[in-house]
A and B are shown apart, each in its own frame.
Chain A
């Protein structure tokens, strides 16, 4: 049963020089946007290790948003090119592992585009809301129920009381 109080939880990795500054601008400009995003500031979108994205999802995020400087504007010249290429493969990997493409998004937002931060976050939240919860921690627990129930079963059974099945690997 989906929880009626569920709200999308989105982890956003924003680069220090463009998208994070744009989020700051959105703030000082008093632009209102959905409160479902937890922003993590990194020096460059190129610092977003694919492990970060997987870990965010594995720990309960419903979506991940990556924001960086426009192509050609990277503070470190090449960083966002690396992001593009990694993101391409990461999307394919996630699709192969059953995670909907709309749960991850890469956007270029420059320091002056505060309103773009608002639009992208609002869009992303609605997109993820439409997909519903990803809820990986609970899925992991569901998968592992077959193990924990068996473990409990083994503990209740006295080893000597059990008829001995012959274990062979012939």
Chain B
């Protein structure tokens, strides 16, 4: 009997998710024994045309990481969707938009202008910008089009499961692959991680005060962090209460507060709004001005509360940015 086929693909991501697969270490041998990897651009030499030549649905599962922000990534997402029985959004970017989706605070023009003209490290007197198509020495050359909006995978194609994290842990990855091969999958659309807040797995849980009260917010670099006390009790923003567990509290174990990469639990629609709600309600002051001064200790609410999930938040993007008419790619 032929082995089930698996594909791994990356879109707008940093490569950390690929690293997470490699982190399976010897575990990867067990995976390779059980499955055939038919596409994995970071490690193996298969091409798009190899996938196009396959019958529809002939790949059992595709693990796709990275957000979707170019026409090429969209085309690959559609292709892999068609060829796969299960399409799995792997990692925070595919799941929620991830860090790349913080770009949804800016227009494409603002980004291109900064990157190709204004950035202090940029020398580009001709103000050359990448073009979707151009002629060079008689050759027609094309590039994918950069989209105006950064999207999560499920904002482009239907997704069957989500493996959260920046990056997902090898334990969750292995558990998901095992469940897939054994056919023991939860209902479609599930996030393959425990549906409970991170605080539940945090070793500092016991020191979380029943009544939190913030008289000041401190950023991690401004204070000496106590290695055992709950971060919220230290006045440090920790996304734990609004974030799904499953990472086994790696960051808080390493004496850094949670930044929210696992996204919300199933009961929460908008992780950032929920964290804002919980955190701000517990500011110590009863005076509007004083409360405002305390809250100024969080200088960047969007970057703090939506660090990994702006694309999937209720507003998705800064709403007053200009919308350009799409050009044919």
Complexed CA–CA distance, A149 and B75 (Å):
12
A-B CB pair tally, cutoff 8 Å: 137
Q: A51-B270, A93-B305, A143-B149 are in contact. Are A88 and B288 (CB under 8 A)?
A: yes
B219 within 8 A of partner (CB): no
Q: Nearest Cβ in chain B — how far from A159, in angstroms?
A: 5
B47 within 8 A of partner (CB): yes
Q: B270 touching A54 by the CB < 8 A rule?
A: yes
The secondary-structure label for the interface of chain B is mixed
Interface residues on B, range: 35 or more
Q: A93-B301, A147-B74 are in contact. Are A99 and B329 (CB under 8 A)?
A: no
By a CB distance below 8 angstroms, the chain B residues around A55 are: 269-270, 314
Q: Nearest Cβ in chain A — how far from B230, in angstroms?
A: 20
Q: A88 touching B292 by the CB < 8 A rule?
A: yes
Contacting residues of chain B (55-76) with chain A, CB-CB under 8 angstroms:
71-72, 74-76
Q: A89-B298, A145-B326 are in contact. Are A54 and B148 (CB under 8 A)?
A: no
A3 within 8 A of partner (CB): no
Q: A51 touching B269 by the CB < 8 A rule?
A: yes
Complexed CA–CA distance, A88 and B47 (Å):
52
Contacting residues of chain B (35-87) with chain A, CB-CB under 8 angstroms:
41-42, 47-49, 52, 71-72, 74-76, 78
A6 within 8 A of partner (CB): no
Complexed CA–CA distance, A53 and B276 (Å):
12
Q: A85-B280, A143-B148 are in contact. Are A150 and B273 (CB under 8 A)?
A: no
The digit string for A142-161, where 1 denotes a CB below 8 A from any CB of B, is: 11111101110110000110
The digit string for B291-329, where 1 denotes a CB below 8 A from any CB of A, is: 110010010111001000000011111111101001011
By a CB distance below 8 angstroms, the chain A residues around B47 are: 166-167
By a CB distance below 8 angstroms, the chain A residues around B326 are: 145-146, 149-150
By a CB distance below 8 angstroms, the chain A residues around B151 are: 147
Q: B71 touching A150 by the CB < 8 A rule?
A: yes
Q: A85-B280, A89-B280 are in contact. Are A143 and B323 (CB under 8 A)?
A: yes
The digit string for B251-295, where 1 denotes a CB below 8 A from any CB of A, is: 000000000000000001110111011011101011010011001
Contacting residues of chain A (114-152) with chain B, CB-CB under 8 angstroms:
134, 136, 139-140, 142-147, 149-151
B105 within 8 A of partner (CB): yes
Q: Nearest Cβ in chain A — how far from B299, in angstroms?
A: 10
Q: A51-B277, A98-B320, A167-B47 are in contact. Are A58 and B314 (CB under 8 A)?
A: yes
Chain B: which residue is nearest A72 at the CB level? B286
By a CB distance below 8 angstroms, the chain A residues around B321 are: 98
Q: B281 touching A96 by the CB < 8 A rule?
A: no
Complexed CA–CA distance, A84 and B277 (Å):
11
Q: A85 touching B295 by the CB < 8 A rule?
A: yes
Chain A: which residue is nearest B285 at the CB level? A85
The 4 A-B pairs at the shortest CB distance, nearest first, are namely A98-B320, A146-B326, A82-B281, A50-B273
Which B residues lie at the A interface, using CB under 8 A?
10, 41-42, 47-49, 52, 71-72, 74-76, 78, 105, 142, 147-149, 151, 155-156, 268-270, 272-274, 276-277, 279-281, 283, 285-286, 288, 291-292, 295, 298, 300-302, 305, 313-321, 323, 326, 328-329
A-B pairs with beta carbons under 8 Å apart, 23 shown: A49-B274, A50-B273, A50-B276, A54-B270, A54-B314, A81-B286, A84-B288, A85-B281, A86-B281, A88-B288, A90-B280, A96-B301, A97-B302, A97-B317, A98-B319, A98-B321, A146-B147, A146-B149, A147-B74, A147-B151, A164-B48, A166-B47, A167-B47
